[in-house]
Amino acid sequence: MNEDRVALITGSSSGIGAAIARRLASEGMRIVVNSARSEAAGRALAEELPDAVYVRGDVTDLRDVGRIVQSAIDTYGRFDVLVNNAGTTRFIALDDLEGADAAAWREIFEVNVIGAWQMATAAVPHLRASGAGAIVNISSVSGTRALGSSVPYAVSKASLNHMTRLLASQLGPDVRVNAVAPGLVETPWYDEAEEVWESSREWITAHTPLRRVGAPQDVAEATLYLVNAAYTTGDVLTVDGGRHIV
């Protein structure tokens, strides 16, 4: 089923996005790798995969969005799967109300919410034409619980979860829309906040049933499941090692 399908993963030059690209490619999908920056890493990943192309573009720029989507059609003649992985955050303590200023809110929402919306709306006509279109949004447990790297980030993921359900209700039966909500995952983001990462990793490891933090591959496996789950839409799949049950 997967051998002819084309998957576009935004923000896929590293971390979770790159893991998703590799996992979908391992199932025979043809991949469009994307990043707003990190062009060298994106091109290297595309060259590593069996059948992939790289396109640079910013999901917050509507002109880029159209070009990113069109690149899938121009290269492969079809477009079946959109993974909205591109995202950003700022590490701002939840009680630092002044630190979470309007600029932080605009920056985070522009990528995490508006960018995902723009990609989805541009992709939908092609996903409908595929006959088995699917969108998977990469969210976060901070969208359902009072935690996260910052208040604007957590609220942006809550918005993405609700967007997922609204789109699913409107795009069926032609296009399925789901989300993956990871807990703490070891990614390059935490290179910028090593102290926060170390304390969080120790706490999560001690208090999570699976006794470890997440890896990008864990999110990739969940994404693959939702890409192929033909009778699942409007779901937000939690991938946090069981932390949400304790």
Measure CA of the first residue to CA of the last residue in the chain; give whole Å: 38
Average pLDDT (109-134) is: 97
Positions marked catalytic: 153
- The predicted model scores a pTM of 0.94
Q: What digits encode the pLDDT tens for the residues 170-221?
A: 999 999 999 999 998 987 666 555 666 677 778 888 889 999 899 999 999 9
Higher-scoring residue by pLDDT: 31, 246:
31
Buried b (16+ CB within 10 A) or exposed e, 14-28: bbbbbbbbbbbbeee
Closest CA to 137 of 107, 164, 173: 164
Percent of the chain with pLDDT over 70: 96
Q: What length is written for the chain?
A: 246
Q: How would CATH label the architecture of 6-239?
A: 3-Layer(aba) Sandwich (3.40)
Q: pLDDT tens-digit profile of 46-63?
A: 999 999 999 999 999 999
Q: Give 3-state DSSP helix, strand, coil % of the chain, rounded to 5.
A: 50, 15, 35
Rounding to the nearest 10 degrees, give the CA dihedral for residues 193, 194, 196, 199: 170
